[in-house]
Amino acid sequence: VGMMGSGKSTVGKMLANTLKYAFFDTDSVIEMAHDKKPVSAIFAEEGQDYFRQCESQIIRELSPYRNLVIATGGGAVLRPENWGYMHLGIVCWLNGDVQLLSRRVAKDGIEKRPLLAADAPEGADPVQVAASKLGPMLEQRARFYENADVVVTLEGYGMDAEAGAPTAAVMYRLMAALNEKLAAKKREVAERMNFTVEGAEQLRTMRTVDSPAAAAAAAAEGQEGQA
């Protein structure tokens, strides 16, 4: 999961190839289901609520399967029902700051992003337009993104400071975080299996005693047999 411009599709596809998993991008699946109509057109014609319903349906239908990577839309985290399905696996948040995300989406063209292109002033700086909308959007979504199992920063250093970390670096961080998460889960399972029962020695020396009702029933059966 992550905001637009975080590289979910690119990193997700690379992760799936590395793990030899199947890969699904919810935006692409929705486009295919609508005769390859672009997301921007679906938003314009059907509205955001309809799009989110389609997205939730895809997440729900894919959630029972194993060995796959799903890149969701940035707003998928806003629907509580989606979290119930996403947490059947490991949720990874690709976390970048507003300025980095704004530069990335502006480079790709904000006209491809329905939530950014709407009401954008003609001739305005695309980076500023993106930042003005991504800022409040990230503020609204951050508390939902924080439910992710793994958080991977997109921050770049040195020559990569402006563009963010290269995809290969993000992949390395993601794989390291996933390995750490899986190791922690294994330790948790092992700790649950390694338990002792207090008073186990006393239990082994205890004898059972019939209740008065059971003793009376047994006596009655004996008398019937003698009769």
Residue pLDDT, tens place only, 35-85: 999 998 999 899 999 999 999 999 999 999 999 999 999 999 999 999 999
- Per-residue confidence (pLDDT) for residue 189, from 0 to 100: 86
Q: In this structure, are residues 5 and 105 in contact, taking their beta carbons and an 8 Å threshold?
A: yes
- Per-residue confidence (pLDDT) for residue 120, from 0 to 100: 77
Runs of H (alpha helix) within the chain: 8-19, 26-33, 39-46, 48-62, 80-86, 98-108, 114-117, 126-145, 167-193, 200-205, 212-226
- How would residue 143 be classed by pLDDT, with cut points 50, 70 and 90? very high
- Judge whether residue 204 has pLDDT over 90: no
* Domains delineated in the chain: 8-191 (3.40.50.300)
Mean pLDDT estimate for the chain: 89
Q: Model pTM?
A: 0.81
- How would residue 194 be classed by pLDDT, with cut points 50, 70 and 90? confident
- How would residue 32 be classed by pLDDT, with cut points 50, 70 and 90? very high
